[in-house]
Amino acid sequence: MQILWDFYELVGVSIFLILMIPITLPCLAGAVPGYFERRRRRQLEEALPEVLESISSSIGAGLGLQQALTELSRTRTDETGKLLSQAIERSRSTSFDAALAEYAINSRSVLIQRVVNLLSTAVEQDAPLGEITNSMSIEYDRLNKLINTRESEMSGQSLLLLMLMCLLLPGVMGFMFAVFGLAAVGAFWGHIHAVMVPYLMASAALSVVVSGRMLGRTKQSMWWIPFWSTLSAVLYIGLFEAIQVGMA
């Protein structure tokens, strides 16, 4: 119990911090599902070129689109296979077109929705599906490579930004203020904390937004603002207090 009171006293230096801490947990609950959803969507998108290539070869071997997709749903054990199995199962009670549309909607991916839309139009117009799926497979393979390039190049920068602004900056500031003015020798820092804590929280929030924008997912990154802001402020004030107590 005493630890909680001590923590409350520690964070009590700024009203912003007191308000932000209760928001952190619900926002984390919003951020984590977004992360998993994105991973699932990317898995589906990564599998898309391979799926299209398989459809193209199956059609080349004389199968129809429905047969090609049924074959795929049987052989694939990943998320794509699961969604395709659902779609095929559903097509028995509805139409194949409706099942394809459901697959596109359930994937929650714009890329897959585009492909399904294109396939539906091609089927409607009786176009050569083998050629279409083959050219789309090449195109989406290139696109995936580009998305992965952006992800790999930018994720390093984005992580660096978060580490520097949300951990290093408050750490250095807390250390510097604590070492240069020990309470044991009569220094009082209350007024500095009231300015520094909102500053560090604002810097952390800004870094989270910028790093999210770098990766092209600003909205999703906003859920992480309370977490990083709180972490940054608690690290600053915690380190400051720890040094003050340690050197007293």
Partner 1 sequence: MATNQEESADLLYAMRAVMVLLGSGIGLESALQMIGRGGYGAISRDFKEVIKNLQRGSQLEQELAKLSRDASTKAYSRFLNTLRTNVTSDTDLLRALQQQSEREEEERNDKLAGYIEKLSGLPTILLTFGMLSPIIFGIAAMIPVIAPGLMTSGIPGMASVAAAAGCFGPALFLTVVMMTLIGYRAHSSDPGVI
Where along the sequence are the contacts to partner 1 (CB under 8 A)? 110, 113-114, 117-118, 121-122, 125, 127-128, 131-132, 135-136, 139, 142-143, 146-147, 149-150, 153-154, 157, 160-161, 164-165, 168-169, 172-173, 176-177, 180-181, 187-189, 192, 195-196, 199, 202-203, 206-207, 209-210, 213-214, 216, 218
Shortest gap between Cβ of 53 and partner 1 (angstroms)? 15
Nearer to partner 1, 170 or 226 (CB): 170
Shortest gap between Cβ of 230 and partner 1 (angstroms)? 17
Nearer to partner 1, 76 or 165 (CB): 165
Tokens 């969507």 locate to 41
What secondary structure does DSSP assign to 56-71, as a single string?
A: HHHHHTT--HHHHHHH
Distances (CA, A) of 75 to 32, 125, 175, 222: 31, 29, 58, 39
Nearer to partner 1, 98 or 176 (CB): 176
Shortest gap between Cβ of 231 and partner 1 (angstroms)? 15
Shortest gap between Cβ of 142 and partner 1 (angstroms)? 7
The contacts of residue 248 (CB under 8 Å, 6+ apart) are 182, 183, 184
- Burial profile 168-193: b = 16 or more Cβ within 10 angstroms, e = fewer: ebbeebbeebbeebeeeeeeebeeeb
What is the SS3 assignment for 42? helix
Nearer to partner 1, 54 or 207 (CB): 207
Nearer to partner 1, 75 or 157 (CB): 157
Q: Are 116 and 131 in contact (CB under 8 A)?
A: no
Shortest gap between Cβ of 81 and partner 1 (angstroms)? 24
Distance CA 8, CA 29 (A): 23
Nearer to partner 1, 168 or 243 (CB): 168
Q: Are 118 and 136 in contact (CB under 8 A)?
A: yes
Other beta carbons within 10 angstroms of residue 140's beta carbon come to: 23
Shortest gap between Cβ of 78 and partner 1 (angstroms)? 23
